[in-house]
């Protein structure tokens, strides 16, 4: 049993040989569990703040969230880019280049994060004013988001060390790190808010502390158990070409993710104009959809690491094996969730909201019945976007994010005033379908994949694996 556990969730996972489905499933399970724990933490955190500090504090956090989430998304994109390139050299079995890439990741992360911290602090006040933040929560929101920006370096370190571990196929230790961080965060929230009766800013302080402690713990683990990720002094001699490659990919992924965040923020403005029942309906629907998205997003991340390692090992033909497995898993999940919503959707909504408002129930159900079957497109959407970034395509994911932003702007300012909430529903569903098709076409027409298909045609048995 111990050997089997070590094989499936050990310190490293080489995905360049062996069964693609097994690699992707075993790598993705800890990530999925981590995402579920994150959702649980969000619920507990909301409970603590709401029951002890009241509605105004919850509103202050709600206003602050989209501001710091845009910056945090840029950090997340940056870390994803660095992890992709580290995974390539891990797949290539090039430890010297891998350590140099880790060292470059550290230097670039510090530089990028300092810039984003300054930008965030400078823009906080004008952005809060632009969002028409109510006067009674303006200062509270400002203090909260300011602390989050000051703690951005801790957030970067926390995400970077976990991303580096995932790049060598280790998703189990990041899971443990995430669980520890969230438990510590909840304990600190309880101490600061419930016991010490501190204000909402203390929740931001708790987050920064938990990220810092968790990052230090991960660094200790890397030094002792994953020396391949521990750069030497000479590794910090930066190479111009490598630095440019990593910087451009980081900007590409971060920009693509941030554009989506901006679009969501704009769309929320249109939803807010449609009244309390629609806001409640949309919030309920999105909570359920976000839970259903977790396995699909996890598949995208797992396939990205799988693809990066195989690109590094010069085995692009194996990527197709992983793509087929991941897409099949996503289609199965879409079928299962569709069955649940179509047969029990009303009961699920009532259980979640405890509402008796038939408008809320019927609107939420309409949203879910439209979107849940289209998860069959959203799964491939995440997978192809992540894999394209892994094989070095920086343009298409940004184009798709820009199309998504454009779609939401049209829905908000042109369609919503005429057809109401239907415009909101269509804006999200259409981009899932169109985006998945465009991304799939871009993937199958990319140079590495076209070359691998030609190689297989010339020697059809050369790449067969168990």
Residue whose token pair is 């992924």 = 253
Q: Domain for residue 189, yes or no?
A: yes
Do 339 and 440 sit in the same domain of this protein? yes
Q: Domain for residue 85, yes or no?
A: yes
Q: Domain for residue 251, yes or no?
A: no
Do 83 and 225 sit in the same domain of this protein? yes
Q: Point out the domain boundary residue: 212, 238, 264.
A: 238
Its domain, for residue 43, covers 18-238
Q: Domain for residue 464, yes or no?
A: no
Do 127 and 262 sit in the same domain of this protein? no
User: What is the rounded CA–CA span in Å between residue 126 and residue 119?
Assistant: 12
Residue whose token pair is 């890439």 = 101
Is the CB of residue 354 less than 8 Å from the CB of residue 412? no
In sequence order, what DSSP letters do the residues of 266-331 get, joined into one string?
HHHHHHHTT-HHHHHHHHHHHHHHHHHHHHHHHHHHHHHHHHHHHHHTT-THHHHHHHHHHHHHHH
Q: b/e string for 182-214 if b means 16 or more Cβ within 10 A?
A: bebbbebbeebbeeeebebbbbbbbbbbbbbbb
Do 267 and 225 sit in the same domain of this protein? no
Do 146 and 266 sit in the same domain of this protein? no
> Residue 6: what pLDDT?
47
Do 219 and 323 sit in the same domain of this protein? no
Do 27 and 109 sit in the same domain of this protein? yes
Q: Domain for residue 5, yes or no?
A: no
Do 336 and 377 sit in the same domain of this protein? yes
> How many structural domains is the chain composed of?
2
Q: Point out the domain boundary residue: 207, 238, 269.
A: 238
Q: Domain for residue 461, yes or no?
A: no
Instruction: Establish how many alpha carbons lie within 13 A of residue 143's alpha carbon, considering only the half-sphere containing its beta carbon.
Output: 11
Q: Domain for residue 205, yes or no?
A: yes
Q: What is the pTM of this model?
A: 0.84
10 Å Cβ neighbour count for 132? Answer: 9
User: What is the rounded CA–CA span in Å between residue 306 and residue 318?
Assistant: 9
> Residue 329: what pLDDT?
93
Give Cβ neighbours of residue 350 (< 8 Å, ≥ 6 apart): 361
Do 362 and 232 sit in the same domain of this protein? no
Is the CB of residue 11 less than 8 Å from the CB of residue 225? yes
> Residue 8: what pLDDT?
45
Token code pair at residue 100: 């140099």
Do 407 and 294 sit in the same domain of this protein? yes
Is the CB of residue 161 less than 8 Å from the CB of residue 102? no
Token code pair at residue 20: 């693609």
Q: What crossing angle do the helices spanning 317-353 and 447-458 adopt, rounded to 10°?
A: 120
pLDDT tens-digit readout, 378-435: 999 999 999 998 888 888 988 998 998 898 889 888 888 888 888 888 888 898 999 9
> Residue 302: what pLDDT?
92
Closest CA to 252 of 66, 386, 139: 386
pLDDT lower than 50: segments of the chain: 1-9, 460-466
Q: Point out the domain boundary residue: 196, 212, 238.
A: 238
Token code pair at residue 309: 């390692």
Do 131 and 216 sit in the same domain of this protein? yes
Give Cβ neighbours of residue 399 (< 8 Å, ≥ 6 apart): 438
> Residue 47: what pLDDT?
77
Angle at 210 between CA 209 and CA 214, to 5 degrees: 120
Tell me which DSSP letter residue 394 carries. Answer: -
Q: Domain for residue 147, yes or no?
A: yes
Do 189 and 291 sit in the same domain of this protein? no
């Amino acid at each position: 049993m111990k050997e089997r556990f070590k094989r499936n969730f050990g310190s490293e996972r080489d995905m360049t040989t062996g069964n693609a489905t097994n690699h992707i499933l075993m790598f993705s399970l800890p990530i999925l569990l981590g995402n579920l724990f994150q959702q649980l933490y969000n619920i507990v955190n909301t409970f603590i703040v709401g029951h002890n500090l009241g509605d105004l504090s919850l509103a202050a956090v709600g206003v602050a969230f989209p501001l710091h989430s845009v910056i945090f998304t840029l950090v997340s994109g940056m870390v994803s880019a660095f992890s992709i390139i580290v995974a390539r050299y891990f797949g290539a079995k090039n430890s010297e280049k891998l350590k140099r890439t880790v060292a470059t990741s550290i230097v670039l992360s510090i530089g990028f994060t300092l810039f984003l911290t300054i930008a965030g602090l400078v823009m906080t006040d004008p952005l809060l004013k632009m969002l028409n933040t109510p006067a009674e929560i303006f200062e509270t929101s400002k203090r909260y988001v300011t602390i989050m920006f000051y703690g951005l370096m801790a957030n970067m370190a926390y995400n970077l060390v976990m991303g580096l571990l995932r790049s060598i196929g280790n998703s189990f230790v990041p899971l443990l790190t995430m669980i520890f961080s969230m438990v510590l965060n909840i304990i600190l929230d309880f101490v600061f808010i419930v016991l010490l009766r501190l204000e909402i800013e203390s929740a931001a302080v708790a987050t920064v502390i938990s990220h810092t402690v968790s990052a230090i713990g991960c660094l200790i683990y890397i030094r002792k158990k994953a020396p391949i990720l521990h750069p030497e002094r000479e590794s910090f001699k930066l190479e111009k070409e490598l630095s440019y490659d990593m910087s451009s990919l980081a900007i590409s992924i971060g920009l693509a993710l941030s554009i989506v965040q901006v679009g969501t923020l704009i769309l929320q403005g249109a939803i807010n104009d449609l009244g309390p029942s629609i806001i409640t309906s949309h919030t309920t629907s999105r909570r359920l959809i976000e839970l259903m998205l977790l396995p699909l997003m996890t598949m995208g991340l797992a396939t990205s690491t799988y693809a990066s390692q195989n690109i590094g090992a010069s085995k692009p033909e194996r990527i197709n094996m992983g793509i087929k497995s991941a897409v099949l898993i996503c289609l199965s999940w879409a079928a299962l969730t569709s069955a649940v919503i179509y047969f029990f959707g009303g009961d699920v909504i009532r259980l979640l909201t405890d509402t008796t408002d038939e408008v809320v129930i019927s609107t939420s159900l309409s949203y879910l019945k439209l979107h849940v079957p289209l998860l069959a497109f959203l799964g491939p959407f995440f997978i192809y976007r992540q894999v394209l970034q892994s094989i070095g395509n920086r343009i298409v994911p940004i184009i798709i994010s820009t199309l998504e932003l454009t779609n939401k702007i049209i829905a908000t300012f042109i369609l919503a005033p005429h057809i109401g909430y239907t415009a909101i529903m269509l804006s999200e569903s259409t981009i899932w379908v169109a985006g998945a098709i465009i991304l799939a076409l871009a993937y199958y027409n990319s140079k590495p994949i076209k070359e691998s298909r030609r190689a297989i045609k010339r020697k059809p048995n050369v790449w067969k694996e168990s």
